[in-house]
Amino acid sequence: MKVDVLKTSIVRPADEVTGSRPRSAQHHHRLWLSNLDLLHGRIHVRTVFFYRPGDDTYYSSSSPASKESYFDARLLKDALSQALVAFYPFAGRLARDEKGRLEVHCNGEGVMFREAEADVSLDELGEFEPGAELLKLLPSVDYSGGISSYPLLLLQVTRFRCGGVSLGIGTHHSLVDGESAMSLINAWANTARGFPPVVSPFLDRTILRARNPPAPKFHHSEYDPSPVLINGTPNRTENPTAMAVLTFTPDQLNALRKQVNPNQYSKSKAGYSTYQILTAHIWRCVSRARGLADDQPTRLHMSVDGRSRLTNPPVPTGYFGNMIFHATPTAVAGELVSEPIVRTLERIRRAIDRMDDEYLRSAIDYLEDTDDPASVMQVPGTCQSPFTYADFGWGKPLCPANLFKGKGNLLSRNADGSLSLAIFLEEDAMVEFQKLVHDGGSC
């Protein structure tokens, strides 16, 4: 696929610019970043939405969007400029305070908006699997100039020969998690449709300050290094990795649910969500596919949103920043692959249930005692993608493609009720994993 860049613009908040000079100092300040913000690498998390024009798309009379203005760049940039008034930290740049701690300099320098065209149709991209081809649908980033040299939000609208469009989005992980990133995208989309944002961002992150002095109450194994491979487990660290996107149909998901016997080792299956059941299945299948020794410790990382779990004080609606913690159920491989799936689900439930206010506050304090939270071992785990809406007036996207590597990322439900899994594994393990995960058994 060849992608030609037609134009690159910098979009600034609407209340910041008169000509080329900022006229408002209201939003010019330094934004403190929490330990959860510092925990992540200095990278942009990348997602691409795909849109296909349809004759049945409904256009509201109050919306600027129309069939004739399909993904019009001027309309999108105007709406983005308006949305950035409330979400102005996206228009800033990373910086460091006098002690060297990372922060955001809210200076109104703007976000990148690129217009491009591709020489293929959407159908030629197949299932939109993450890879080098899809990276062409996002602006590239040169990180060599230092942390203050690049925008925190990168956008690219690419038109395809069939009339379809992709919207590539790169949000810097030190600034926001997926939930907060999507709040901007939806505010932008609402503005483009002529509607106000649903939720205003709450920008003050000091509610996540560590206690003084820090008082971690628990050992936080979620931030420990990964278990060392023991004798008998193949060392695949040098092996090339493969990537696959697998789809689980409603029938396959129902079949997995039926394996959870409510009378076997567990009081109730009502508390197990489809995501938890599928996660347990994936964890077991990965462990078996990798040929782990029976006594090899294995650990699952599950993303847990702290917005509803921190209660003292509670997190305000619209909190803007990183609020993701990690639940880490553990098991030795031999027990994991041989036990009933309900046992695995109980491991997952215990790990999630312990993520209460006391435990999460302890985690924040634990990270405060770490010289550089970004150096803490982080393993991307199974999570649910929040990128599901993004309707700019021309209809919802076909699906999102997440372009970040991890062990496994569960994407949100598709329109037909199916779930998609994007997973990276060693090449030889991937072949076996794909056999196991869809064989109808419980691994």
What secondary structure does DSSP assign to 258-303, as a single string?
HTS-TTSSSS-STT--HHHHHHHHHHHHHHHHTT--TT-EEE--EE
What is the rounded average pLDDT of the residues 48-53? 91
Q: Known catalytic residue: 173?
A: yes
CA distance 118 to 159: 6
Beta-bridged to residue 384, according to DSSP, are 410
Q: How far apart are CA 188 and CA 201, in angstroms?
A: 13
**How far is residue 395's CA from residue 58's CA, in Å, rounded to a whole number?**
8
Q: Are 437 and 246 in contact (CB under 8 A)?
A: yes
| Mean model confidence pLDDT for the chain | 85
pLDDT of residue 261: 65
Catalytic residue (one of 72, 78, 357, 391):
391
Q: Regarding predicted confidence, which is higher, 288 or 378?
A: 288
Q: Where are the alpha helices (DSSP H) in 73-199?
A: 73-83, 132-135, 178-192
| CA dist list (Å): 286 to 374, 376, 407 | 27, 24, 10
Mean pLDDT of 371-385: 53
Q: Which of 173, 281, 301, 326 is catalytic?
A: 173
The pLDDT score that the predictor gives to residue 384 is: 53
Answer whether residue 247 shows pLDDT above 80.
Answer: yes
User: For the residues 429-438, what does the mean pLDDT come to?
Assistant: 91
Maximum mean pLDDT: which of 5-14, 238-247, 407-416: 5-14
DSSP track, 191-249? HHTT---SS--B---GGGPPPSS----S--GGGSPPPPPPTTS---TTSPEEEEEEEE-
Asked if 179 contacts 43 with a C-beta cutoff of 8 angstroms, the reply is: no
21: CB partners within 8 A, 6+ apart: none
User: Position 308: which residue type?
Assistant: S
Tell me, what's the pLDDT at 77?
A: 98
Q: How confident is the model at residue 241 (pLDDT cuts 50, 70, 90)?
A: confident
Q: Which CATH number is 225-437 given?
A: 3.30.559.10
Does the pLDDT value for residue 306 go beyond 90?
Answer: yes
pLDDT of residue 246: 85
Rg of the Cα atoms in the chain: 23
pLDDT at 46 over 50: yes
Q: Is the dihedral of CA 425, 426, 427, 430 positive or negative?
A: negative
Taking residues 284-302, what's their average pLDDT?
Answer: 92
pLDDT at 414 > cutoff 80: no
3-208 and 225-437 share one fold:
yes
The 10s digit of each residue's pLDDT in 105-145 is: 999 999 999 999 999 999 998 777 667 788 899 998 899 99
| Catalytic site includes residue 391 | yes
Between 2.40.30.10, 3.30.559.10, 2.115.10.20, 3.90.1150.10, what CATH number should domain 3-208 receive? 3.30.559.10
Predicted local confidence at residue 379, as pLDDT: 46
Q: Work out the pLDDT band at 53, boundaries 50, 70, 90.
A: confident
Tell me, what's the pLDDT at 78?
A: 97
Average pLDDT estimate for 378-406: 65
DSSP letter, residue 361: H
Residue 37 has pLDDT above 70, yes or no: yes
Find the angle CA(397)-CA(400)-CA(406) to the nearest 5 degrees: 175
DSSP per-residue codes, 390-418: ---SS---S-EEE----SEEEPPPPTTS-
pLDDT at 424: 83
**pLDDT at residue 405 is higher than 60:** no
Task: Name the token pair of 434.
Answer: 């794909």
Residue 188 DSSP SS3: helix
Give the model's pLDDT for residue 416: 76
Confidence of residue 398 (pLDDT cuts 50, 70, 90): confident
Pull the structure tokens for residue 87.
């979400």
Report the sign of the C-alpha dihedral through residues 188, 190, 194, 197, in that order: negative
- 146-180 per-position pLDDT tens digit: 999 999 999 999 999 999 999 999 999 999 999 99
Q: What is the residue extent of each domain of the chain?
A: 3-208, 225-437
Q: Is the peptide bond before 213 cis (omega within 30 degrees of 0)?
A: yes
The per-residue pLDDT for 422 is 80
Strand pairing of 111-118 and 3-11?
A: antiparallel
Span 412-432, average pLDDT: 80
pLDDT at residue 375 above 70?
Answer: no
- Where does the pLDDT of residue 245 fall: very low under 50, low under 70, confident under 90, or very high at 90 and above? confident
pLDDT tops 90 at residue 231: no
- The percent of residues in the chain predicted with pLDDT above 70, rounded, is 81
Burial 256-289 (b: 16+ CB within 10 A, else e): beebbeeeeebeebeebebbbbbbbbbbbbbbbb
